[in-house]
Amino acid sequence: MIAVLFVCYGNICRSPVAEGVFRDLVAAAGLSEQIRCDSAGTSSYHLGQLPDRRTRENALEHGLTLTHRARRLTGEDLAQFDYFVAMDEQNLEAIEKLNYRATGLYTQDTIFLLREFDPEVSDQPNVPDPYYEGPDVFEEVYQITLRCCRQLLTYLVNERMSEWQAGPTEQNE
């Protein structure tokens, strides 16, 4: 099973949306047995809280119910997740620093910015943080997340499809 962790600062706006959108796309593709996801924040300001009310309202407008409770990214996540997807450069750096402390490597080919998967060419690497913004930015975050998560899912399927088709190896049996 592939495990993907979406990461933003407080884990109440962007990363819960990415988690919800991605989970929905994975289920629609019939891949829930092959791919799981979660989200976390690099800060501990909102531990245990539901996503921001405006985030949940926007998600509901798109048929998603977000029930995730905010949690902080930990060193244990490095062992539990295969891919880390940051919403912005600040959080990417926090993931890389945590990874460096654990492995001695700053970057890996499993740590990404979500917008690396944006099919709409943009010079903006970050998903905007809507926390201090109006409803239009929450919708923008949803739309960015939807198109990027579609591409991320395609990437993961292409990376792992041969493993899934081959089934368990002798080492895994």
Q: What is the pLDDT of residues 100-159, one digit of tens each?
A: 888 776 667 899 999 999 999 778 899 999 998 888 999 999 999 999 999 999 999 998
Helix (H, G, I), strand (E, B) or coil at 26: helix
pLDDT in tens, 47-101: 889 999 999 999 999 999 999 999 999 999 998 999 999 999 999 999 999 988 8
Contacts of 26 (CB under 8 A, 6+ apart): 32, 35, 37, 153
Q: Which of 24, 72, 82, 129 is catalytic?
A: 129
Instruction: State the catalytic residue, choosing from 8, 13, 148, 149.
Output: 8
CA angle 6, 10, 16 (to 5 degrees): 40
Which member of 13, 14, 37, 52 is catalytic? Answer: 14
- Collect all residues with Cβ–Cβ distance below 8 Å to 130 and sequence separation of at least 6: 13, 14, 54, 55, 137, 138, 140, 141
Q: Is 38 annotated in the active site?
A: no
- 54 belongs to the catalytic site: no
Q: What is the pLDDT of residue 38?
A: 98
CA distances to 63, 64, 129, 137, 146 from 54, in Å: 14, 13, 12, 10, 17
Residue whose C-alpha is closest to residue 19's, from 162, 127, 101: 127
Residue 98 structure tokens? 């945590």
Q: Give the span between the Cα atoms of 14 and 3, in whole angstroms.
A: 18
Closest by CA to 141, choosing from 46, 1, 56, 14, is 14
Structural domains in the chain, CATH included, are 2-163 (3.40.50.2300)
Mean pLDDT along residues 5-29: 97
149 is catalytic: no
